[in-house]
């Protein structure tokens, strides 16, 4: 079955540590996205990638980094520079950025920084 996987589902880290969240898709989609979801707020875009080896900052990129070395994979690193990292992180993909098709979402990773 095609889809998007994120791991782990729950992640706990100590303050000051970097942590990398995994996102893999086998939908053959060119575009991939990372969002952050906080209670009472809409999803906010962290980074997005239109194609392999290319990525762009979203609205809240500070304290985060990404890579897109393979079409299937778009890992997100939450660095110690991110002031409030505890949140629900969602990865998504679509056929292309500018196409009129929906984004498919992974199951999410809930990160808690202690």
Partner 1 sequence: GQNIDQPTEMTATEGAIVQINCTYQTSGFNGLFWYQQHAGEAPTFLSYNVLDGLEEKGRFSSFLSRSKGYSYLLLKELQMKDSASYLCAVRGGDYKLSFGAGTTVTVRA
> 78 pairs with which residues across the strands?
19, 64
Q: Which positions ≥6 away from 65 have C-beta within 8 Å?
A: 76, 77, 79
Does 42 bind partner 1 (CB under 8 A)? Our answer is: yes
Answer whether 75's CB lies under 8 Å from 10's CB: no
Q: Which stretch binds partner 1 (CB under 8 A): 12-20, 44-52, 65-73, 74-82?
A: 44-52
Site string for partner 1, 46-65 (x = CB under 8 A): --x---------x-------
Q: Give the rounded distance of the alpha carbon of 65 from its chain centre.
A: 10
* Tokens 């952050």, located at residue: 36
Q: Which of 44, 61, 65, 86 binds partner 1 (CB under 8 A)?
A: 44
Interface residues toward partner 1, by CB under 8 A: 4, 35, 40-45, 48, 58, 88, 90, 97-98, 100, 102-108, 110
């Amino acid at each position: 079955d095609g889809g998007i996987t994120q791991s782990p589902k729950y992640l706990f880290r100590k303050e000051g540590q970097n942590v990398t969240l995994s996102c893999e898709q086998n939908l053959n989609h060119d575009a991939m996205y990372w969002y952050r979801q906080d209670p009472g707020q809409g999803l906010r875009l962290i980074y997005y990638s239109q194609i392999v080896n290319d990525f762009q900052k979203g609205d809240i990129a500070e304290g985060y980094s990404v890579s897109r070395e393979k079409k299937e994979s778009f890992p997100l690193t939450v660095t110690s520079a991110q002031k409030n990292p505890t949140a629900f992180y969602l990865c998504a993909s679509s056929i292309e950025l500018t196409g009129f098709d929906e984004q498919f979402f992974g199951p999410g990773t809930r990160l808690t920084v202690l």
